[in-house]
C-alpha cells in the first residue's frame, strides 16, 4: 500500500514540476497536449 501512495506522490511531483516548467499552462491545454505524460490514465 505504501508503494502505491509513494508512486502517486511521485506522479504528483512530476506533474507539478512539469507544470511549473511549462510556465503553468491551463489544465485543459496540458491535457490536450499529446506529449504530456498521462500517469493517471490507468484509473
Looking at residue 35, what is its pLDDT? 58
Q: Would residue 20 count as lying in a domain?
A: yes
Identify the three-state secondary structure at position 7.
helix
**H or E stretch at 12:** helix 2-21
- Is the distance from CB of 38 to CB of 18 less than 8 angstroms? no
User: So what's the pLDDT on residue 43?
Assistant: 44
Q: What pLDDT score was predicted for residue 36?
A: 53
Query: What's the DSSP call for residue 35?
Result: T
Q: Which domain holds residue 11?
A: 2-31
What does each of the 43 residues of the chain score in pLDDT, given as a tens digit?
Answer: 899 999 999 999 888 888 776 665 566 665 566 655 666 555 4
- Give the number of domains in the chain: 1
Other residues' Cβ atoms within 10 Å of the Cβ of residue 1: 5
What pLDDT does residue 5 have? 92
Residue 23 lies in a domain: yes
Does 15 map to a domain?
yes
* Residue 37 within any structural domain of the chain: no
Amino acid at each position: 500500500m505504501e508503494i502505491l501512495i509513494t508512486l502517486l506522490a511521485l506522479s504528483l511531483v512530476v506533474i507539478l514540476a512539469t507544470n511549473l516548467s511549462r510556465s503553468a499552462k491551463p489544465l485543459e491545454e496540458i491535457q490536450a497536449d499529446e506529449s504530456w505524460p498521462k500517469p493517471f490514465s490507468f484509473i
